[in-house]
Amino acid sequence: MNTQIKFTSAEEAVKVIKSNDHVHLSSVASAPQCLIKAMCERGENREFEHVHIHHLHTEGPAPYSEPRFEGIFQLDSFFVGGNVRKNTQCGAADYIPVFLSETQKLYRSGVLPCNVAMIQVCPPDKHGYVSLGTSVDATLAAVECADTVIAVVNKYVPRAFGDAFIHVSDIDIFVEDDTPLMQGHITEPSEIECAIGRNCAELIEDGACLQMGIGAIPNAVLSQLGGHKNLGIHTEMFADGVLPLVESGVVNGANKAIDKGKMVSTFLMGSQKVYDFIDNNPGVAMMDVKYTNDPFIIAKNPKVTAINSALQIDITGQVCADSVGTVFYSGVGGQVDFMYGASRSEGGKAILAMPAATNKGISKIAPVLTSGAGVVTTRSHLHWIVTEYGAVNVYGKTLQERARLIISIAHPDHREELERAALERYGSHYHYIRKTMIL
């Protein structure tokens, strides 16, 4: 098949964007920076107005979110990354609360229009197929629904398998740019994070199917799993910490009920080693987020162990991972998808892991959530909670029992204060609970 395609410049490509359009950007490492730059240059020249930008977490500059573009661009993101957090917090940009599993539904259901999808892909194969590489997530849905698809063809985009393939006939405008993808690098975990990692690792059984994100705590957990057997991966994302476990045979997917032997993810962020690992690797399936994050699909695998983090937990078990008060975090993301999916899995474990206190010594376990805090995981969804001081399972416990359990893994400097708050909230019967519960 003749796969010759005609390239144009980024500046010419973004001329299709017009006032009031909705534009989707591919995610994380695949954010098409040359198109973003060209689009913002048009914005600076005031060639359009009220252009809505949508995306999940992206790496690299995001100038369209800046206050100077008020009335020209409106960022309404599905997930708030560090590059747009300040501008979202000050009101220059906004955020759509949505489960990660349903980001694709916003487009496919027509709740959000998609006039222009701006993506990155690998060069076409001899059959005319390109791969979305590190960003399938809601990007595939955007491609399906967009009036116009602009693709940056980049030799550094890995040729990923799964749902990542689209045909060149699905693309309207091609731009060539061989800028290497943004990379994320592992940071050394602190002593506290290592302690949390050990406590989480003790809950992970041989044959478990793991979900965990990127960051110091997931890496600390993964570093403790060298002695485990037959682990699997079904997650929204993974990073470098998984690779040594694959190389040693610890992660082999042998116990998975679906996608046996394969690692399943929907987007990636890591070093070049991660991108090289998924390139032409049929053992990795980069799937539509509708598949990776559907709780009922997640639950088909046995022993699903989901490890997620939080900003704050109150003593009843309400979990904040999304705050519009003094701190703006990342949004709902996939936490609820996987916490619920893991809890429905045979032998599954839904784990919420976090330090007991902030770097400034403020307790992350509170009598009540801070005003303005968004409840992401409800007390009804919460099972295991892990800090550096231990792990407790609050599933099936009364409010008073779970208060006692949660306080037991709080920072010691704050436990007395939390006990007083629990006593004030629940009355004298809490004394009985505190004395008789076996922790």
The domain that contains 106 carries what CATH number? Answer: 3.40.1080.10
Residue 18 lies in a domain: yes
Q: Please say whether the beta carbons of 23 and 14 come within 8 A.
A: no
Are residues 381 and 233 located together in one domain of the fold? yes
Are residues 393 and 252 located together in one domain of the fold? yes
Place of tokens 């995610």: 27
59-68 average pLDDT score: 96
Are residues 98 and 233 located together in one domain of the fold? no
Are residues 70 and 218 located together in one domain of the fold? no
134-153 average pLDDT score: 98
Tell me the pLDDT tens digit for each residue of 376-435: 899 999 999 999 999 999 999 999 999 999 999 999 999 999 999 999 988 877 777 777
Are residues 92 and 219 located together in one domain of the fold? no
Q: Which of 176, 201, 234 is the last residue of a domain?
A: 176
pLDDT at 69: 98
Are residues 169 and 244 located together in one domain of the fold? no
- Torsions phi, psi of 361, nearest 5? 85, 10
Are residues 70 and 130 located together in one domain of the fold? yes
pLDDT band at 324 (very low <50, low <70, confident <90, very high): very low
55-82 average pLDDT score: 96
Share of residues in the chain with pLDDT > 90 (%): 86
| Structural domain total, the chain | 2
Are residues 127 and 204 located together in one domain of the fold? no
Q: Please say whether the beta carbons of 422 and 403 come within 8 A.
A: yes
Residue 184 lies in a domain: no
330-357 average pLDDT score: 93
**CATH number of the domain enclosing 260:** 3.40.1080.20
Q: Is 162 helix (H, G, I), strand (E, B) or coil?
A: strand
pLDDT at 372: 81
Dig out the tokens for 282 from the structure.
């049929």
For the cut 90, the answer to whether the pLDDT of residue 240 exceeds it is: yes
Tell me the pLDDT tens digit for each residue of 3-22: 679 999 999 999 999 999 99
Q: Which of 176, 210, 231 is the last residue of a domain?
A: 176
Q: Please say whether the beta carbons of 361 and 387 come within 8 A.
A: no
Report which of 359, 375, 388 is spatially closest to residue 316, judged by C-alpha positions: 375
Residue 186 lies in a domain: no
Residue 182 lies in a domain: no
From CA 319, how far away is CA 322, in angstroms rounded? 9
Of 66, 236, 388, 419, the active-site residue reads 236
Torsion on CA atoms 293, 297, 301, 306, rounded to nearest 10: 30
Alpha-carbon distance values, 159 to 96, 114, 165, 244, 252 (Å): 31, 25, 8, 21, 21
Are residues 220 and 321 located together in one domain of the fold? yes
Are residues 274 and 153 located together in one domain of the fold? no
The pTM (predicted TM-score) of the whole model is: 0.94
For the cut 70, the answer to whether the pLDDT of residue 2 exceeds it is: no
Residue 392 lies in a domain: yes
Tell me the pLDDT tens digit for each residue of 83-124: 999 999 899 999 999 999 999 999 999 999 999 999 999 999
Residue 205 a catalytic site member: no
From CA 22, how far away is CA 51, in angstroms rounded? 6
Are residues 146 and 223 located together in one domain of the fold? no
Q: Which of 176, 202, 219 is the last residue of a domain?
A: 176
Containing structural domain, residue 100: 7-176
Are residues 266 and 412 located together in one domain of the fold? yes
